[in-house]
A = this chain, B = another copy of it.
Amino acid sequence: MTENKDDGEDRLGDILGFHIRLAHGAVYRHFTETFSDIDLTQKQVSVLWLVSEHPGLAQVELGRRLQMDRATTMTIVNRLEARGLLRRQASQSDRRKQAVFLTSGGVAALDEAKSCIVAHEAWLKRRFTPDEVKILVEMLARIHD
């Protein structure tokens, strides 16, 4: 009998976290390749998309939904603001908060990005049946929720 046969954590390939990291790396790499033309990162597209779904969202809420701390959120919003894709506006209900909105350029950039996302997602999902995609998404959501 071999030792450590019960838990199956004696080899690197048995580590779930390792596979998540590799899968993320592969997706990240294909993403940046797909988006090299329009020069947007995963984070930046996520921010644009989320602001599009929730105009006037506060930065802290943006960070919470994308699981970034305030400092990280700042740098991303700064970059997108410098590129003219979104704008800050002091919230009227709570003057501590900065409400974030897409500019017209931001809307256009997001539209362009979404068409790239379609291609990117097709590349990713071609490995799975629609049912498998549902299962995978549900499992991943268990991890990050």
Q: Which residues of A are interface residues toward B (Cβ below 8 A)?
A: 7, 9, 11-12, 15-29, 31, 42, 46, 49-50, 53, 66-67, 117-118, 120-121, 124-125, 127-128, 132-133, 135-137, 139-144
Contact: B21 with A121, CB < 8 Å? no
Q: Are A121 and B46 CB-contacts (below 8 A) given A22-B140, A26-B67, A144-B22?
A: no
Contact: B139 with A136, CB < 8 Å? yes
Q: Are A16 and B137 CB-contacts (below 8 A) given A24-B24, A25-B67?
A: yes
Q: Are A26 and B143 CB-contacts (below 8 A) given A42-B17, A46-B18?
A: yes
Give the one of A21, A27, A124 with max B CB within 10 A.
Answer: A21
A139 to B133, CA, bound (A): 9
Q: Are A46 and B12 CB-contacts (below 8 A) given A20-B27, A23-B20, A67-B22?
A: yes
A17 to B18, CA, bound (A): 17
Q: Are A117 and B20 CB-contacts (below 8 A) given A67-B26, A128-B142, A142-B127?
A: no
Partner of A15, one of B17, B19, B117: B117
A85 to B136, CA, bound (A): 37
Q: Are A16 and B125 CB-contacts (below 8 A) given A9-B118, A26-B67?
A: yes
Nearest B-chain residue to A123, judged by Cβ: B17
Contact: B20 with A140, CB < 8 Å? yes
A136 to B18, CA, bound (A): 12
